[in-house]
Chain A
Amino acid sequence: MSLVQKTLKELSVAFKAGEITSREITEAFIKEIETRDGEINAFVTTTFDLAREMADAADSRYENGTLLSDLDGMPVTLKDVVCTAGVKTTASSNILKDFVPPYNATVWQKLKDAGAVLLGKVNTDEFTMGVSTETSAFGVTKNPHDLTKVSGGSSGGSAAAVAANFCAVSIGTDTGGSIRQPAHFCGCTGVKVSYGRVSRWGTIPMASSLDSVGCLAKTAEDCAMVLEVIAGKDVKDSTTPPVEVPKYTDTLDQPLKGLKIGIPQEYFIDGIEDEIVSVVDSTKAILETLGAKVVEVSLPHTKYGIAAYYIIAPSEISANLSRYDGIRYGSAVEGNSLEEIYTQTREQGFGDEVKRRILIGTYALSAGYYDAYYRKAQKVRTLVKQDFDTAFNEVDALLAPIFPTPAFEVGREADPLRDYIEDVLTIPANLAGICGVSVPVGKSKAGLPIGVQFLCKAFAEDRALNIAHQIEQTLS
C-alpha cells in the first residue's frame, strides 16, 4: 500500500515510531496532487511551500521529543470557507477571489496548534450553497471514482481530496448535508457534528443557526482523532456549549450488542433508487449480526423539512451575506456612489444560486411576509426537532439513506427546486441540531460509492462514530 492510501491513524503511528518523516508523507501527497488534481480540480489554492515548512517543523519536534499531538506532522486540507491567515480564502466566490484573511478560524488554529500540515484549500459550492460544487466560481470538482460525475456538495473538494488520496483528512462544513452527501458520493467517512460542537468562528458563514464544521476522512477512527482536537467550547463562538469533549477514539470498539437502532420510514421517499435502499438493507443486516436491534421508527414531519429549511437558511443567508458590500473586504466594482458600489459589486461578485437565496431570504423576511414564511418555518422546525426527540427516547441511533441517488452527472440540467428537494434526507438533522456520521457501505452497479448515515442525538458523536467504526471493521 502506498503512503497516500494509508489512513491518518496509520500515518500517525508510523511517524511517531520514526518509520517515516512528515516531510516524506507531505511530499507523497504533493506528488499525488500534482499528478491528478488537473483532472479532478479539488483545490482552489495549494500551499505546498507552507506545507514543506510545517512538515520540517514537525520533523524537528519529533527529533526533539516535543510532538504536539497525534495529528502532529499530518497533512490536511481545509474547505475554502475556513479562514487561514496569509492564505487566500475565497468561499469559491468571485466576490472573495483575492481575499487573504488576517486571522485563522478557530478550527484551523486548533489543528495548527496540534501540528497539522496545510496542503491547501479545497473547493466548495459558492458560499457552500449547492449539491455538486457546480456553483463554485472556480469550476466543478469531479468525482475521483468517475470523472464524468460530480463529487457532491458543498464540501465536494474535501470529499474528492480524501477519495483521491490528496490528503488524509479534510475539514468541511455541513449546513444541510454538505459533509454527508459528498462523503456518500465519493466513498469517504464524514462527520456532521451537533450544532455548537465545533467552533464556527472564522469559518465564513452561510446560515448561522444551521452551520456546523466537521471533517471527512477515510475512516471513522480518523474522524474521531480529528474531532478530539477541533471540538469544544470557544469563547469566540458563544454558540459552543460547555459540554466536555469525550475521547472519541476510546469508545470506537464498544460492541453494538443491545443497541437499538431505528430506520425512519419517511426517508424512503418517491424517487429513491433501489441501489440506495438495498445498501440500507445490507447495513441493517450487519447491525443485526453485531447484536443491535433494528426497528422501524417514524419522523412524521420529514417532508416539511425542506420547505422550512429553504425559508430559514435563505433568510439567514440574506442577512449574513449583506457584509459583502464591496467596502470592507473582497473585490469591488468602482462606482460614483455607495449604492452603485454595493449593487454592482454584488451583481458581479455573486453567482446565480447565491443571488437566488439572498432574494428568497429578503422576500421571506420582508414586511407582510414574515409571519407566513419565516415564523411558520421556525414553528415547523420545532416539530421536526420534536420528531427526533421522540425517536431518541426509543432508539440509540437512526440509520438512514443520505441522498436518493449515487453521484450524478457533471453538467446535468439545472433545476434549483429539484436540487433543494433532493436535500430532504440530510436537512432535518441540521434543523434539529443533532449529529451524524456518513459511512461508505456499498457500491452501485456502475461502481459508484453508496453511503448511509447514522444520526444520534446532540453531542452523541461518540455513539455515531462507534457505530460507524463497527460497520467499517465488519466490512474491511
Chain B
Amino acid sequence: MLTQDEVRHIAKLAKINLTDSDVARLAPQLSGILDYFAVLQEVDTEGVAETSQVTGLESVTRPDEIHMSEIEAELINCTPHQVEDHCVKIPKIM
C-alpha cells in the first residue's frame, strides 16, 4: 500500500504539484495498480535477457555532416516566455 506521503514524494520527483485531494484520490488508485504488478512474481525469469528494444538494430550511425535546421527562430519562439537574443527568459535559478 502506497502511503499519501509516498505519493507526495513521487509527485515531487515527477515535478507535479498535487493538492491534498489529488493525493487522497491517487494513493489508493496507484496502490491498486502496483499491487496488480505482483502477478509478475509468478513468472520465472531466471537467466532471461531483458528486452529494451525489438528491432535488433545496434549502434545506428549516420555520416557526420552538418545540416542547418533553418527553423531555429521558430523553435525558440515555441516558448510561452519572452525571447531575448535567441534565449528564453526564465526566473533566476541561483
- Cβ B51 vs Cβ A378 within 8 A: yes
Please tell me if the beta carbons of A379 and B29 are within 8 angstroms of each other in the complex: no
In the bound complex, what is the Cα–Cα distance between A356 and B74 (angstroms)?
Answer: 32
A250 at the interface (CB under 8 A from B): no
Closest chain B residue, CB of each to CB of A308: B40
Determine if A375 and B50 form an interchain contact, defined as CB atoms under 8 angstroms apart: yes
A103 to B39, CA, bound (A): 43
Interface size on B, residues (CB 8 A): 49
User: In the bound complex, do residue B16 and residue A335 qualify as a contact, i.e. CB atoms below 8 Å apart?
Assistant: no
Instruction: Give per-residue flags for B26-48: 1 if the beta carbon is below 8 A from chain A beta carbons, else 0.
Output: 10011011101101101101001
In the complex, how many angstroms separate the beta carbon of A6 from the nearest chain B beta carbon? 37
Q: Are B54 and A417 in contact (CB under 8 A)?
A: no
Interchain CB contact under 8 A, B90 and A338: yes
Contact of A241 among B33, B43, B55, B80 (CB under 8 A): B55
A-B Cβ contacts below 8 A, count: 158
Q: CA A428 – CA B65 in complex, angstroms? A: 39
Known A327-B88, A355-B16; contact A310-B40, beta-carbon cutoff 8 A: no
Contact residue among A301, A342, A432, A458 (Cβ-Cβ distance under 8 Å from B43): A301
Are A363 and B10 in touch, CB under 8 angstroms? Answer: yes
Contact A328 B88 (CB under 8 A): yes
Q: Assuming the A-B contacts A343-B15, A358-B14, A416-B33, are A338 and B54 also in contact, with contact meaning beta carbons closer than 8 angstroms in the complex?
A: no
Q: Who on chain A is nearest to B47 by CB?
A: A379
Residue A380 interfacial (CB < 8 Å): yes
Are B57 and A239 in touch, CB under 8 angstroms? yes
Using A433-B55, A458-B54 as known contacts, say yes or no to A347 and B17 having CB atoms under 8 A apart: yes
B1 part of interface (Cβ distance < 8 Å): no
Taking a contact as CB atoms under 8 Å apart, the answer to whether A332 and B80 are in contact is: yes
Given contacts A209-B54, A304-B40, A355-B16, are A335 and B88 in contact (CB under 8 A)?
Answer: no
A346 surroundings in chain B (CB, below 8 A)? 14-17
Given A363-B30, A458-B54, answer yes or no on A379-B49 (Cβ-Cβ < 8 Å).
yes
Q: Chain A residues near B11 (CB, 8 Å)? A: 359
Residues of A within 8 A of B16 (CB): 343, 346-347, 350, 355, 358-359
A343-377 interface bits toward B, Cβ cutoff 8 Å, 1 = contact, 0 = none: 11011001000011011101100100000010111
In the complex, B79 has a CB within 8 A of chain A: yes
Q: Give the nearest-CB partner of A196 in chain B.
A: B55
By CB atoms of chain A within 10 A, which of B16, B74, B75, B79 has the most? Answer: B16
Q: Is the CB of B33 within 8 A of A420?
A: yes
Size of interface on A: residues with Cβ below 8 Å to B: 69
A8 to B79, CA, bound (A): 39
Q: How far is the CA of A310 from the CA of B36 in the complex (A)?
A: 10
Distance of B36 from chain A, by nearest CB (Å): 6
CB-CB under 8 A from A355, the residues of chain B are: 16, 18, 22, 26
Are A310's CB and B55's CB within 8 A? no
Beta-carbon contacts under 8 Å, B4-30 to A: 7, 10-11, 13-18, 22, 26, 29-30
B71 in the interface, Cβ–Cβ < 8 Å? Answer: yes
Q: A363-B30, A420-B33 are in contact. Are A383 and B14 (CB under 8 A)?
A: no
| Chain B, Cβ-Cβ closest to A458 | B54
Interface status of B60 (Cβ within 8 A of chain A): yes
A185 interface hit (Cβ, 8 Å):
no
A38 within 8 A of partner (CB): no
User: Which residues of A from 411 to 449 have beta carbons under 8 Å from B?
Assistant: 416-417, 420-421, 431-433
Q: Are B62 and A235 in contact (CB under 8 A)?
A: yes
Closest to B19 in A: A347
**Contact partners of A332 in chain B: CB under 8 A:** 80-81
Min C-beta distance of A4 to chain B, whole Å: 36
Complex: how many Å from CA A42 to CA B91? 39
Whether, in the assembled complex, A463 has its beta carbon less than 8 Å from a beta carbon of chain B, the answer is no
Question: How far is the CB of A151 from the nearest CB of chain B, in Å?
Answer: 25
Distance A235 CA – B88 CA, assembled complex (angstroms)? 29
| 19 A-B contact pairs sorted by A residue (CB < 8 Å) | A102-B74, A102-B77, A196-B57, A209-B53, A327-B88, A328-B78, A336-B91, A338-B93, A347-B17, A356-B26, A356-B30, A375-B50, A379-B49, A380-B43, A382-B48, A383-B45, A385-B51, A417-B36, A432-B54
Q: List the 10 closest A-B pairs by CB distance, nearest first.
A: A433-B54, A102-B74, A378-B50, A379-B45, A329-B78, A347-B17, A343-B17, A238-B60, A332-B80, A381-B51
* Residues of A near any B CB (own CB < 8 A): 99-103, 195-196, 209, 235, 238-239, 241, 301, 303-304, 306-308, 310-311, 318, 322, 325-332, 335-339, 341-344, 346-347, 350, 355-356, 358-360, 362-363, 366, 373, 375-383, 385, 416-417, 420-421, 431-433, 458
Q: A338-B90, A382-B49, A433-B55 are in contact. List 14 more A-B contacts (CB 8 A).
A: A102-B71, A102-B75, A196-B57, A303-B39, A304-B39, A311-B37, A311-B40, A327-B90, A331-B80, A338-B93, A343-B16, A346-B16, A356-B29, A416-B33
